[in-house]
Amino acid sequence: MPTFTALTTLPGPDAAQDLGAAMERLDPAPDGVGVFEIEDGSGLWEVGGYFTAAPDDTGLAVLAAAFGARPFTVSELPETDWVAKVRRELAPVRAGRFYLYGSHDADTVPDDTVALLVDAAMAFGTGHHGTTLGCLQALDGLLDDGVLAERVLDLGCGTAVLAMAAARAWPGPVLASDIDAVAVEVAAANVALNGLKGRVRCVEAVGFDHPEIADAAPFDLIFANILKGPLVALAPDMATHTKPGGHVILSGILTEQADEVIGVYAQSGFNLRERRDIVDWSTLVLMATGA
């Protein structure tokens, strides 16, 4: 079956989100829509749709004009079993005590590790990217330092790797949230696959806007592996939802953006505890002062 992508760019997050929502009403409708900030300092956002039927060129042109976006670029993708391809190419990942593997590598799990099974899926966070790897290494470092987190939130959870790692590390409840419904479904499936159903709760939420998050706050540890823009915007709410003396682990930050994020979080009452750089990506461990 042929598949298609339709991509465009436009300035500003609000217009991009509105365009993404409008794309979902096309006929034929896209099977998935993504809205992402382009991290090059241009202020542009990318809006893309994935289609299993040829998209309506006229409808796309009307949407682009209505929202002030560039004309959509439509591409037909070759027929590829992407899950099988990823399974062939992704090797297991070791991050301190944590070991991430696919079901095809189940016989490789060392006895002295905290093993997490994450198969190729339609959500971000297999551990191979520098951001997820950095977060796992940061968590491993907190555990080495004797940190105890009774309440944990994985904000923008993707595959829920970080939430599951926290659930294996500590006995308390863990919440995993994502703005994307598909990611929440994938996260819940991974939680069940790892025998953590009832320990990790997956919810669909924008930022901290969910009653279960409000009820569980303040948290001892919050993961937020997203992007610089949302991280900066969430800094005040992050302070409100973190216990004094609690920690946040932030990633999705390009190395040249790290100092700006550190400065913004300092203004919200966080002190830098550790910074880890992996290739082009930074992971920050910050402690809430309660000030």
- Fold held by 123-288: Rossmann fold (3.40.50)
The pLDDT, as a whole number, for residue 92 is 76
**90 by DSSP, 3-state: which?**
coil
The pLDDT, as a whole number, for residue 128 is 46
| Segment holding 3, helix H or strand E | strand 3-11
Query: Cα–Cα distance between 212 and 31 in angstroms, integer?
Result: 29
The pLDDT, as a whole number, for residue 18 is 92
The pLDDT tens digits of the residues spanning 23-50 come to 989 999 998 888 888 766 778 899 999 8
The pLDDT, as a whole number, for residue 281 is 87
Q: One-letter amino acid identity for 82?
A: W
Listing DSSP states for 211-253 in one string gives HHHHHHPSEEEEEEES-HHHHHHHHHHHHHTEEEEEEEEEEEE
What distance separates the 2 farthest-apart alpha carbons in the chain?
59
The pLDDT tens digits of the residues spanning 139-161 come to 999 999 999 999 999 999 988 99
Q: Enter the tokens of residue 71.
A: 């004309």
Query: Cα–Cα distance between 162 and 250 in angstroms, integer?
Result: 12
| pTM of this structure | 0.70
Q: Do domains 3-77 and 123-288 have the same CATH topology?
A: no
| Segment holding 120, helix H or strand E | none
Q: Which CATH number fits domain 3-77: 3.30.70.260, 3.30.70.1060, 3.30.56.10, 3.40.50.2020?
A: 3.30.70.260
Q: What is the mean pLDDT of each run of 10 residues along the chain (291 residues)?
A: 85 91 91 80 86 92 94 79 50 83 77 82 49 91 96 93 96 93 88 94 94 96 91 94 97 92 96 92 92 63
Domain boundaries, the chain: 3-77, 123-288
The pLDDT, as a whole number, for residue 125 is 47
How many C-beta neighbours within 10 Å does residue 179 have?
A: 18
The pLDDT, as a whole number, for residue 94 is 83
